[in-house]
């Protein structure tokens, strides 16, 4: 699939890609990769997500899916929770929940990093990391999350990577003026 003007997938394109697959595991992998802006190694081996790492919590009468990711890149904060509202991301959350109920064992995606790359490339026609770029851009354009909070969600120790991962057009920036 072609990227949008920002050089990322739009939220609509993300949903179209997820709906295009018949394999629930692949759909859930793609969804969780996007929703968390996680690196593949944080989702599959060597630090695979288990069903214990995912919960549905409520705050101010609003439901959130919370995913705990483990990363070796940020030694000060190796575990980072990433939360997203089920009302806004319900279709993608539903795919993940469906996979959790159908899978066998604790590990959600008992596959290698290379296999995850292949699955996402086959589904989207793009490399896996574009999902991280897309989600971080959407945290700015769709959620108005401040840069310091994006830094925490993405697992960075400073704000320098934000320039690389956010793909904003002048119209995106003008919304904040």
What are the chain's domains? 11-174 (1.10.443.10)
Q: What is the pLDDT of residue 77?
A: 76
Which pLDDT tens digits describe the chain residue by residue (177 residues)? 899 888 999 999 999 999 999 999 999 999 999 999 999 999 998 889 999 999 999 999 999 999 999 987 777 778 999 999 999 999 999 999 999 998 878 999 999 999 999 999 999 999 999 999 999 999 999 999 999 999 999 988 899 999 999 988 788 888 777
User: 65, 56 in Cβ contact below 8 A?
Assistant: yes
Q: What is the pLDDT of residue 104?
A: 78
CA neighbor of 84 nearest in space, from 65, 112, 103, 99: 65
Q: What is the pLDDT of residue 46?
A: 84
CA neighbor of 53 nearest in space, from 113, 109, 94, 128: 109
Q: What is the pLDDT of residue 60?
A: 95
Q: What is the pLDDT of residue 157?
A: 87
**DSSP reduced 3-state for 110:** coil
User: 43, 28 in Cβ contact below 8 A?
Assistant: no
Rg (the chain; Cα; Å): 15
Q: What is the pLDDT of residue 177?
A: 78
């Amino acid at each position: 699939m072609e990227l949008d003007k920002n050089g990322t997938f739009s939220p609509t394109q993300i949903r179209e890609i997820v709906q295009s697959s018949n394999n629930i595991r692949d759909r859930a992998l793609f969804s969780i990769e996007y929703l968390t802006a996680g690196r593949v190694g944080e989702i599959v081996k060597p630090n695979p997500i288990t069903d214990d790492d995912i919960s549905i919590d409520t705050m101010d009468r609003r439901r959130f899916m919370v995913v705990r990711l483990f990363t070796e890149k940020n030694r000060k904060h190796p575990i980072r929770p990433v939360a997203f509202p089920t009302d806004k991301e319900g279709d993608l959350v539903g795919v993940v929940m469906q996979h959790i109920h159908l899978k066998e064992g604790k590990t959600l995606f008992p596959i290698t990093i290379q296999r995850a790359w292949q699955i996402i490339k086959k589904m989207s026609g793009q490399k896996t990391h574009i999902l991280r770029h897309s989600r971080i851009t959407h945290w700015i354009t769709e959620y108005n999350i401040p840069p310091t909070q994006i830094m925490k969600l993405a697992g960075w120790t400073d704000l320098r990577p934000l320039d690389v991962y956010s793909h904003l057009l002048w119209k995106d920036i003008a919304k904040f003026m």
